[in-house]
Amino acid sequence: MNLLTAILSFLAPRSPASYPPTAILNNIIKSGTFEVPPKLDEVNATLDLMKKEGYGRLVAVDLEPVSMRPYWRATDTGVKHWMDTGRIMLGE
């Protein structure tokens, strides 16, 4: 499983809820999916790619109004992609 699939497998089943990158990372690490756990900067970079049109806009970001912290969620397209590719779930 690659990091993009892992992120979508965490976010899509929880849609429309949104999560900060640290929560996404912690759930991926807890899942034991990767022999070498990803780092936060890798999760952030993958999320940035996933929101681009070339990647199908699988995720979207909302900024918390006061702190401007990013909270990520799966888009309808991301949920459909997840459903079409096996509905793998990660995290608690």
Q: Is residue 58 very low, low, confident or very high in pLDDT (cuts 50, 70, 90)?
A: very high
Is the residue at 90 inside a domain?
A: no
Of 74, 82, 91, which Cα lies nearest the Cα of 26? 91
pLDDT above 70 (res 91): no
Q: Which structure tokens are listed for 29?
A: 């690490």
Q: How many residues are present in the chain?
A: 92
Task: Give the pLDDT confidence score for residue 85 in this predicted structure.
Answer: 87
Is the residue at 92 inside a domain?
A: no
Is the residue at 17 inside a domain?
A: yes
pTM for this prediction: 0.90
What is the residue range of 79's domain?
A: 3-84
CATH number for the domain that contains residue 49 = 1.10.10.10
Is the residue at 57 inside a domain?
A: yes
* SS3 (DSSP) at 91: coil
Percent of the chain with pLDDT over 70: 97
Mean pLDDT in residue range 6-30 = 95
Is the residue at 89 inside a domain?
A: no
Q: Is the peptide bond before 16 cis (omega within 30 degrees of 0)?
A: yes
Number of folded domains in the chain?
1
Q: How does the average pLDDT of the chain come out, rounded? A: 92
The secondary element (H helix, E strand) that includes residue 1 is none
